[in-house]
Amino acid sequence: MSEQEIKPSIQLNTRGLRCPEPVMMLHQAIRKSKSGDVVEIFATDNSTSWDIPKFCMHLGHELLLQEEVLDDSGNKEFHYLVQKG
């Protein structure tokens, strides 16, 4: 399944938030969603690069996408797609 075929049901903008807020917001979004739903997360905190994969692994969710991109100003940003297990 390509990224274009994935339609997130929830989008989280956690840019500017520090650990543990992005993962806490993801946890809350996952709790409110149903099995198979996809949550899209945008973050700027480096710690999400290990926190979100570990969150998925320990709680049985699938990390569909994990990438680092540069925003319009050239700052590093993280993009994730997580499917609820």
CB atoms < 10 A from the CB of 38, how many?
19
In a domain, residue 69? The reply is: yes
Please say whether the beta carbons of 29 and 58 come within 8 A.
no
In a domain, residue 33? The reply is: yes
In a domain, residue 3? The reply is: no
DSSP state letters, 17-55: --TTHHHHHHHHHHHHS-TT-EEEEEE--TTHHHHHHHH
56 is a catalytic site residue: no
In a domain, residue 32? The reply is: yes
Over residues 11-23, the mean pLDDT reads 97
- What pLDDT score does 5 carry? 81
Q: What is the pTM of this model?
A: 0.91
Tens of pLDDT, residues 21-58: 999 999 999 999 999 999 999 999 999 999 999 999 99
In a domain, residue 31? The reply is: yes
Q: State the CATH number of the domain containing residue 36.
A: 3.30.110.40
Domain residues for 48?
Answer: 10-84
Residue 71's pLDDT band, with cuts at 50, 70 and 90, is confident
Given 8, 9, 19, 77, which residue is catalytic? Answer: 19
- What pLDDT score does 3 carry? 55
**Count of structural domains, the chain:** 1
Distances (CA, A) of 76 to 16, 49, 64: 12, 12, 20
In a domain, residue 2? The reply is: no
